[in-house]
A and B are shown apart, each in its own frame.
Chain A
């Protein structure tokens, strides 16, 4: 077998292993639960007022649901990243990873297996959150092509954040650190256009909100799902995703090659 087919075969095996682990130690309800609570909170508690603040002729709760869902989806992905970092940190403390290091397997497959399994888990969480959003009145207005593009963009965002969260899991010396490090990711949509338009923010914050990656991602999703004008945010969001994925990939490979910590 050549290097590539070994990598693919071993990554598939690792993916299967992580899949079983996720079923035995499920985090999916925890991962989907937090954004669902946030969604309900923002729609039913703040939605009326925030919706009115969006402006427009008859803006209200229904309009706010449409507005807030893309940001909630990004929070879902970021929250899942926390679960990923925890799972990776827990796994690295297990002796079996030392065993993998002394086996003739593709080195990158250990990390790739985590990324693929976590990405699948994240997409599942996103699907659950979207289902709840639709149940409370979210009505995407665009056609199947835009839906497909939106799913593609969510997948890219998921891969980007998953690589980073795997790296955060690897760099953490304890499970606690691993659960804290990805926290700031969850906050990004709040300091972007996730819940209110950036135009409503004071000047320095507004500038930050507009350049940080969460905003183009959310704007691009909004454009795809609701047909709002999204300008250049689509390509910018994709560029961010690719850059973050690449950085996360390189970082994880370096971290995994580090000598294992003493036990």
Chain B
């Protein structure tokens, strides 16, 4: 595993990355650092510039400005060395639809110069691993979306890249295929591969990523671990439901500042959702002899983070029109 030993601690480093199409500024100076062996998720709404970022980092298109190092190589000066270290599964299917799955993989093995013995061995291994053995000889044209995605990723893995870019790897997949894809990604990480992933799904970023960056309006508007991001947004609370307005009244007096809903007969008490605070809350209700009909705990999720970070901006965009 010399490749692993030689891999820099920082798999990807971008400083001041800029890209515009005519007057449309897509990336307005973004900085990114991805540690080797981790999963980094670039999260953003449609049109935020996720694909543009992946295309630049994977040498497909050039940036207008900024400095990027991938696998320790400067993107501008040594694109060949960068390409040798990376694998890319783009947003759009990158398979040859006229070839079979096996032929597609063989093509990759030949282009990676794996040789007469290693090539077929690797192809067979990947067909097995990605559950494509039965479909190996069928033309890709007949494949379902999930099969295509799996083949797409298998093709990316032929050369054992140490850094893999996945642009919306589960977009358009059914829940089962999505879970399969998550499993594959976790396996890769377990083997020390660095994953740069883009997604519109918060759940996906939450489940897979070590760090998440939120891209909006051409800038990184937040960056951190999933927990750090969640902490950015207050909003955890306990929701109490009551049998009648009288109980609600008394509870509202007890918990000053809690949000009450007279129609639903509920009260939202701010809370971190932890067991200790929950117990104290129940003790207080007991002490005041207030009868509670129901209780639910709400913790903030990435949805809250995402909305609070990006919605203000889209409001601004709407207003500007």
A residues with a Cβ closer than 8 A to B are 1, 6, 9-10, 13, 16-17, 20-21, 24-25, 94-96, 98-105, 259-260, 263
Contacts and interface: CB of A to CB of B under 8 A. Distances in A.
B84 interface: yes
Nearest to B57: A102
Interface string B99-125: 100011001001111000000000000
Interface string B265-281: 00000000000000000
B111 A10 contact: yes
B310 interface: no
A100 B88 CA distance: 10
Contacts of B155: 99
A98 B96 contact: no
Contacts of B94: 95-96, 98-99
Contact of A24 (B59, B88, B98): B98
Contact of B61 (A24, A95, A104, A260): A260
Nearest to A97: B94
* A-B residue pairs, 8 tightest by C-beta: A95-B94, A99-B94, A104-B84, A104-B83, A13-B110, A102-B88, A24-B98, A102-B58
Given A13-B110, A25-B98, A99 B103 contact: no
Contacts of B112: 103-104
29 contacts: A1-B113, A6-B113, A9-B110, A9-B113, A13-B111, A17-B96, A20-B98, A20-B99, A20-B103, A21-B99, A24-B99, A24-B139, A25-B98, A95-B90, A95-B93, A95-B94, A96-B94, A98-B90, A98-B92, A98-B94, A99-B88, A99-B94, A102-B60, A102-B86, A103-B159, A104-B80, A104-B83, A105-B111, A260-B61
A21 B93 CA distance: 18
Nearest to B59: A102
A99 B86 CA distance: 11
Given A9-B113, A20-B103, A99 B83 contact: no
A155 B83 CA distance: 36
B97 interface: yes
B200 interface: no
From B88, B94, B155, name the one whose CB has the most chain A CB atoms within 10 angstroms: B94
A101 to B, nearest CB: 5
B95 interface: yes
Interface residues of B, number: 29
Contacts of B177: none
Interface of B: 58-62, 80, 83-84, 86, 88, 90, 92-99, 103-104, 107, 110-113, 139, 155, 159
A1 B88 CA distance: 23
B111 to A, nearest CB: 5
Main secondary structure of the interface of A (DSSP, over half): helix
A13 B107 contact: yes
A9 B98 CA distance: 22
B62 A259 contact: yes
A90 to B, nearest CB: 10
Contacts, number: 65
Contacts of B60: 98, 101-102, 260
Given A20-B99, A25-B98, A99 B90 contact: yes
A103 B111 contact: yes
A21 B92 contact: no
Contacts of B86: 102
Contacts of B103: 20
Nearest to A100: B111
B59 A17 contact: no
Nearest to A106: B111
A94 B83 contact: no
B61 A259 contact: yes
B228 to A, nearest CB: 31
Given A20-B98, A103-B83, A263 B92 contact: yes
B88 to A, nearest CB: 4
A96 B90 CA distance: 10
A94 B83 CA distance: 20
A33 B103 CA distance: 30
Nearest to B141: A24
A21 B113 contact: no
A96 B148 CA distance: 12
Contact of A21 (B61, B80, B88, B98): B98
Contacts of B104: 96
Contact of A94 (B88, B96, B110): B96
A201 to B, nearest CB: 45
A16 B18 CA distance: 39
Contact of A95 (B92, B107, B111): B92
A103 B112 CA distance: 8
B59 A96 contact: no
A17 to B, nearest CB: 6
B11 to A, nearest CB: 16
B107 A17 contact: yes
Contacts of A13: 107, 110-111
